[in-house]
């Protein structure tokens, strides 16, 4: 397989919370990383105006992507306007056809927030449609014929919408890159007061560290880890492929 990864999530800082450790490890192995949030973070505040928070969160996300050495892609919608709808799927399909990723990282299909779950569904459909010539993306990009492997990250809080634990099928040791993951998340400074007010995350960096430590405990062998689940290959690859498993499962 090739070495291009698209991380596609709902909001600025979602990649940093649940995926960045694995992405740093892949980057260190020579992978090309693409960073995209479907929503622009417009509602992640209790203190800033719409224009100000959108500008701030775009700037934070671009800085975070640059720190990782990732290619930044623009957002497509406001927060709470991420719906499983035609135009968003076609726009994401255009990104996938342009980037030609070998691996796509998506949010969990089960999560506490609709934006996260719907972003996963949009990504799943857009990746499926990548090779269909009669499916016209926005803007129109020619269909591509290639294998792609989809992985779902852990949900925020490691629980589904009913508070039930989600258990990964693959663990990636991120102990050696936790410093970079923490630095990258720390670039989203606008989120400190919002996450405290809305979710009780008094210190969002510590919240991320605790989740990473908890996944490490689930692994039974790592101090800090990120968890992943491999999506069904049908419609995406001709044979069963598991590049993360080949790289990191021991």
Helix (H, G, I), strand (E, B) or coil at 185: helix
Measure the CA–CA gap between 195 and 205, rounded to whole angstroms. 11
Domain 4-248 is found in CATH 3.40.50.10320? yes
Question: Strands, DSSP E only, in 16-135?
Answer: 32-37, 71-73, 103-106
The mean predicted confidence, pLDDT, of the chain is 95
pLDDT of residue 190: 87
What are the tens digits of pLDDT across the range 145-164?
A: 999 999 999 999 999 999 99
Of 163, 59, 149, residue with least CA distance to 111:
163
Spell out, as residue ranges, where the chain has pLDDT lower than 50: none
Q: Where are the domains of the chain?
A: 4-248
pLDDT of residue 194: 64
pLDDT of residue 238: 95
- DSSP run (H or E) holding 64: helix 50-68
Phi, psi of 211 (to 5 degrees): -65, -40
Partners of 153 in beta bridges:
228
Q: How many CB atoms lie within 10 A of CB 161?
A: 13
Q: How many CB atoms lie within 10 A of CB 179?
A: 10
What are the tens digits of pLDDT across the range 51-75?
A: 999 999 999 999 999 999 999 999 9
pLDDT of residue 204: 82
Of 138, 168, 198, residue with least CA distance to 19:
168
Measure the CA–CA gap between 37 and 73, rounded to whole angstroms. 8
pTM of the model: 0.95
pLDDT of residue 198: 56
């Amino acid at each position: 397989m090739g070495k291009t990864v698209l991380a596609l999530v709902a909001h600025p800082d979602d990649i940093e919370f649940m995926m960045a450790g694995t992405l740093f490890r892949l980057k260190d192995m020579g992978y090309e990383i693409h960073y995209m949030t479907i929503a622009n973070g417009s509602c992640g505040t209790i203190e800033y105006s719409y224009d100000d928070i959108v500008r701030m969160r775009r700037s934070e996300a671009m800085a975070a992507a640059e720190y990782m050495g990732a290619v930044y892609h623009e957002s497509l919608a406001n927060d709470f306007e991420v719906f499983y709808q035609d135009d968003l799927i076609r726009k994401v399909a255009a990104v996938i056809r342009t980037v030609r990723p070998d691996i796509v990282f998506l949010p969990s299909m089960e999560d506490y927030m609709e934006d996260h779950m719907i972003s996963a569904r949009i990504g799943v459909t857009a990746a499926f449609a990548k090779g269909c010539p009669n499916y016209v993306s926005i803007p129109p990009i020619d269909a591509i014929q290639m294998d792609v492997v989809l992985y779902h990250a852990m949900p925020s809080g490691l629980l589904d919408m009913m508070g039930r634990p989600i258990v990964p099928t693959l663990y990636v040791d991120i102990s050696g890159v936790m410093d970079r993951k923490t630095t990258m998340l720390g670039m989203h400074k606008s989120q400190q007061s919002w996450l405290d007010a809305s979710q009780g995350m008094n210190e969002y960096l510590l919240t991320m560290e605790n989740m990473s430590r908890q996944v490490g405990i689930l692994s039974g062998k790592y101090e800090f880890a990120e968890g992943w689940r491999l999506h069904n290959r049908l419609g995406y690859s001709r044979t069963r492929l598991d590049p993360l498993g080949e790289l990191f499962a021991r």
